[in-house]
């Protein structure tokens, strides 16, 4: 957790943005697309996931720790930088500590159909060689309780500091959602680094044979488990498009956020 040395011309400070979640929702893909903007800076020797705040669940967090955290964000003058640690969303102590360390940071949250996120999360654990014991499965379930977890964050951060994106919408319209992300970060479309005629890349599919197939009865159980949380989330985020989440499209009432245009990521009203 020791910050890296600065290169010539770099300065440090609190992150300009922090991606707070969610695991297996395309965060690495989206972060890479964000870095096509010339005013966003990422040093190749520093991983997008800092995990710095993970360690303070039962440890003091003082001024020296805040200074060390800022040291992890070197950038040339005139550029913006940040991190994307998906675990942050589900760690109860992180919102308060991040508010202390980076009170002006813009927060990014990428969500996916929670049943599909759960399925993908289990597949990820299997690929990592981790046994799927009760604690692992419970953790995977908790990560999909988006409304419950989001409430903790909005206790400490203003809703205007948060952009909520849907993975499925980003896949369907990456160029439009990327422009919306840049605007949220205060970056001009005219400065975009990539060729405007080139469609941004899509996320890479999981390797053949590595996908976890859910038994229909288990899928129904998961839908029942998440349904009330998804309903509250839809009330909290009016532009959330439940028609993009097949497991919960029955809750949409036949109306989705796409009625309001494809370039309007969800934000709490």
- The region, left, alpha or beta by phi > 0 then psi within -120 to 50, assigned to residue 86 is alpha
Q: What is the mean pLDDT of residues 213-228?
A: 96
Identify the pLDDT of residue 213: 84
Q: What is the mean pLDDT of residues 118-137?
A: 86
* Least confident segment among 123-137, 143-157, 214-228, 248-262: 248-262
Is the model's pLDDT at 159 over the cut of 50? yes
Query: How many Å apart are CA 156 and CA 61, to the nearest integer?
Result: 17
According to DSSP, the residues that pair with 109 across neighbouring strands are: 21, 164
Identify the pLDDT of residue 206: 55
Q: What is the pLDDT of residues 2-59, one digit of tens each?
A: 999 999 999 999 999 999 999 999 999 999 999 999 999 999 999 999 999 999 999 9
Q: State which H helix or E strand residue 172 sits in.
A: helix 167-172
- Residues found in the chain: 269
Q: What is the mean pLDDT of residues 135-155?
A: 96
Structure tokens at 2: 């020791």
Structure tokens at 185: 């970060």
Identify the pLDDT of residue 198: 55
3-state SS assignment for residue 124: helix
Q: What is the mean pLDDT of residues 89-96?
A: 98
For β-strands 10-11 and 75-76, DSSP reports them as antiparallel
Report residue 263's pLDDT band, with 50, 70 and 90 as the boundaries.
very low
């Amino acid at each position: 957790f020791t910050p890296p040395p600065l290169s010539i011309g770099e300065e440090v400070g609190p992150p300009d943005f922090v991606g707070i979640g969610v695991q297996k929702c395309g965060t690495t893909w989206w972060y890479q697309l964000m870095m096509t903007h010339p005013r966003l800076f990422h040093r190749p020797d520093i991983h997008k996931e800092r995990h710095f705040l993970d360690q303070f669940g039962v440890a003091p967090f003082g001024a020296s720790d805040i200074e060390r955290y800022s040291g992890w964000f070197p950038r040339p003058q005139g550029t913006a930088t940040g991190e994307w640690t998906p675990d942050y969303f589900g760690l109860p102590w992180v919102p308060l500590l991040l508010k202390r360390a980076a009170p002006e940071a813009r927060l990014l949250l990428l969500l996916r159909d929670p049943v599909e996120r759960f399925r993908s999360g289990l597949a990820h654990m299997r690929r990592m060689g981790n046994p799927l014991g009760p604690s692992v499965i419970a953790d995977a379930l908790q990560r999909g309780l988006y409304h419950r977890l989001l409430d903790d964050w909005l206790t400490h951060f203003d809703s205007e500091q948060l952009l909520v994106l849907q993975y499925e919408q980003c896949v369907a319209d990456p160029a439009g959602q990327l422009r919306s992300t840049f605007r949220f970060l205060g970056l001009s479309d005219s400065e975009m680094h990539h060729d405007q005629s080139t469609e941004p890349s899509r996320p890479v599919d999981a390797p053949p044979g590595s996908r976890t197939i859910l038994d229909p009865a288990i899928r129904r159980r998961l839908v029942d488990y998440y349904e009330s949380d998804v309903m509250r989330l839809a009330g909290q985020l009016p532009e959330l498009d439940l028609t993009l989440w097949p497991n919960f499209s029955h809750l949409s009432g036949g109306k989705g956020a796409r009625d309001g245009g494809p370039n309007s990521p969800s934000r709490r009203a």
